[in-house]
Structure 1
Amino acid sequence: MPTPLAETLTQLRVGNQKFLIDFYQRSRHLFARWAQRQHRLPAAQAHELLQDTLLDFYDQVADGRITKMPEDLRAFIYGMAQQRLAAQVPAHVPLPAAEAQRRQRLLAQFNQLGADCQQVLTYFYFHGYQFEKMGVKMGFPNATVARRQKGSCLRKLYELVRGGYDATWGAGTADNEG
């Protein structure tokens, strides 16, 4: 079953690039043909352009400039590549090592949270759900419980980031899930 677009965006925001890697592997030959026809780029350059464009897309998702997954992702990526070529952006400008490491650590720490905490934080921060809607989705009795759960989960993530939270403590209930 394919992953819903909103879930894909959430996974990208927490640093999981699997979707983009899969997109690259499926699309690189078609993209190379397009780049050769439209811009006379050799296949190797087209592949680099697609990689850099996908990394730009990832950065825009991660920092909040893209908040909704484009309906036609392929057309969106091709448009970004076209803009990149028009602006003559240099190829392979990687993230600074510190930022790449920070994102990987944050993803690892987020993945240490229990499934309920991951879901609560995802609903609130990435889907933008109000507490009432989040409460309904999570099966909480009311919005106040959803608000408290979000606060508790955020504290747990903060403690993980600071290095003082043991994710194995209190596993079991949504209120204590770590």
Structure 2
Amino acid sequence: MNTSQPLAEVLTSLRVGNQSFLISFYEQNRGLFARWARRHHNLDAPAAHKLLRTVLVEFYDQVVDGRMTKLPPDLRAYLYGMAGEHIEVASRTTAVLPVAEASRRQYLLGLFRQLSTDCQKVLMYFYFRGYNFEKVAGKMGFANSTVARIQKAGCLRQLYELRLRNESATT
């Protein structure tokens, strides 16, 4: 991490789109990260570099959209933790699915992508990250957990209606 730049300045520069901090972090740490990824997760260097880029983009998104309000005390450990989560999720989802189930999931994913960004976030937080309604409300900036519950119900209704429209269009 560039120690000559105060942490508050890093967040401010990231929020206005200046990614030079992330680029220099990547350049300075990709070798260390590749060794860590090989040692702990048996990833080769190109895959580790790709993973680090993915994690840095995700971190950047967290800063820009306000989920990250201050830098963690040990940014490297935080990013490595994010990378570990990516690897864990990938290892859980690499099981081969029956063709019908894989097709159904692809269909639903296509419908999901037609939802608004807010609906996608609400459903992801609740179903995939396991957040309760209070945490969803906090992440989304809703007034309380009841608003989060109502929003989730509305998003599910939209998804259901998209499914009905698509099925009636194909018949």
Q: Matches of residues 151-162 of structure 1 in structure 2 within 5 Å?
A: none
Report Cα offsets for 1:105-163 as digits up to 9, x if no partner.
Answer: xxxxxxxxxxxxxxxxxxxxxxxxxxxxxxxxxxxxxxxxxxxxxxxxxxxxxxxxxxx
1:88 positional shift: 1.6
Question: Does the residue aligned with 2:40 lie in a helix, a strand or coil?
Answer: helix
Aligned to 1:75: 77
Give the corresponding residue for 1:27: 29
In proportion to residue count, which structure has more helix?
2
Instruction: Look up the equivalent residue of 1:72 and give its one-letter code.
Output: D
Number of equivalent positions: 90
Distance 1:67 1:4 in 2: 14
1:62 counterpart letter in structure 2: V
The TM-score normalised by the length of structure 2 is: 0.51
| 1:1-178 equivalences in 2 (<5 Å) | 2-88=4-90
Coordinate RMSD, CA, aligned: 1.7
Secondary structure at the aligned position of 1:88 is classed as: helix
CA distance in structure 2 between the aligned counterparts of 1:54 and 1:31, rounded to whole angstroms: 12
Runs of 4 or more, structure 1, over 4 Å off, are none
Partners of 1:4 and 1:27 in 2: how far apart?
19
Q: Which has the higher contact order (CA 8 A, sep 6+)?
A: 1
Q: What's 1:168 paired with?
A: none
TM-score (norm 1): 0.49
Please list every run of 5 or more consecutive structure 1 residues that lacks an aligned counterpart in the other structure.
91-178
Q: 2:21 and 2:37 mapped to 1: Cα distance? A: 22
- 1:29-80 CA-to-partner distances (Å, cap 9, x unmatched) read 0000000000000000000000000000000000000001111000000000
